[in-house]
Amino acid sequence: MNEMMPVSDIATPKLPTLPDAQTVTQVTHWTDRLFSFRMTRPASMRFRSGEFVMIGLMGDVNEKTGKAKPLLRAYSIASPSWDEELEFYSIKVPDGPLTSRLQHIKVGDEIIMRPKPVGTLVHDALIPGKRLWFFATGTGFAPFASLLREPQTYEDYDEVIITHTCRTAGELTYGRELIEALEHDEMLNEVIGEGFWKKIKYYPTTTREQSAKMGRITDLINSGEAYAELGVEPLCPQNDRAMICGNLAFNLELKAMLEAAGLEEGANSKPAQYVVEKAFLD
């Protein structure tokens, strides 16, 4: 047979499905700057709550080589280690190489993931203490979204304080809803213990839009206002452990404050009193 094929019968060329590709199962847009999504998790993939992986999309085809390379960035896994899917929380940067495209993903799309989780915002990097502080700005909330749903967080500490500083009130919604949902999470209440969520003290603040609490957490701690409102003693190396995740300036400022309070930085290889990681920015 040598007939011409009707145009409609010609298969559309598709990029080959990469071995590391996962399928998007849910996308939620929180503001014009923020979105979260869930995707399938490889059955063999293990990680510790708080770790990050490299994820992304295929880049454009290089005109010279005719080939496309994956465009990958480090993303904290926002879901806990026991979840059968993976969740991520991302900023949308209009001209960001990855997020300008990633923000348009839909259910059923494929995301490339290198399944090698790493990171320092893990329980293993901290020595035992009484109170655990999570300090986040913007999408730096992501690893804490994982750790707040991790049973070990409540087994290891009497109290868990999560501070989240964002520009606007809308940027707090993902975190606020996640924390409020813990009260009604039957599975977690059964596994960790009824009322485990009462150990959480949530301290959200905004800096560029009116909300119940205005100001940078760094200033609110330095002035003593945050301690007074939370009803806790100032940070001390005997009782307090901390994890920091936000933009670079924030991380450095808070790190200096914790050091001044006498806390030492820990790592997987040498656990200590606090750990820090930069939030993903495209």
Q: Which residues bind ligand A2P (CB under 6 A)?
A: 137-138, 165-167, 207-208, 216, 218, 247, 249-250, 253
Question: Given the complex with ligand A2P, which of 35 and 196 has the nearer CB atom?
Answer: 35
Tell me, rounded to whole angstroms, the distance of Cα 24 from its chain centroid. Answer: 17
Least distance between ligand A2P and beta carbon 252 (Å)? 7
CB-based contacts of 196: which residues, under 8 Å, 6+ apart? 154, 182, 188, 189
| Tokens coding 154 | 């409540």
Helix (H, G, I), strand (E, B) or coil at 185: coil
Q: Residue 206 is which amino acid?
A: T
- Number of residues assigned to the chain: 282
CB of 14 to ligand A2P, least distance (A): 37
Nearer to ligand A2P, 153 or 218 (CB): 218
Which residue lies nearer to ligand A2P by CB, 191 or 249? 249
CB of 220 to ligand A2P, least distance (A): 9
Closest separation between CB of residue 139 and ligand A2P, Å? Answer: 8
| Nearest distance from C-beta of residue 144 to ligand A2P, angstroms | 15
The percent helix, strand, coil of the chain (3-state, each to 5) is 25, 30, 40
User: What residues form DSSP beta bridges with 53?
Assistant: 75
Q: 124 or 253, CB closer to ligand A2P?
A: 253
Q: How far apart are CA 172 and CA 30, in angstroms?
A: 9
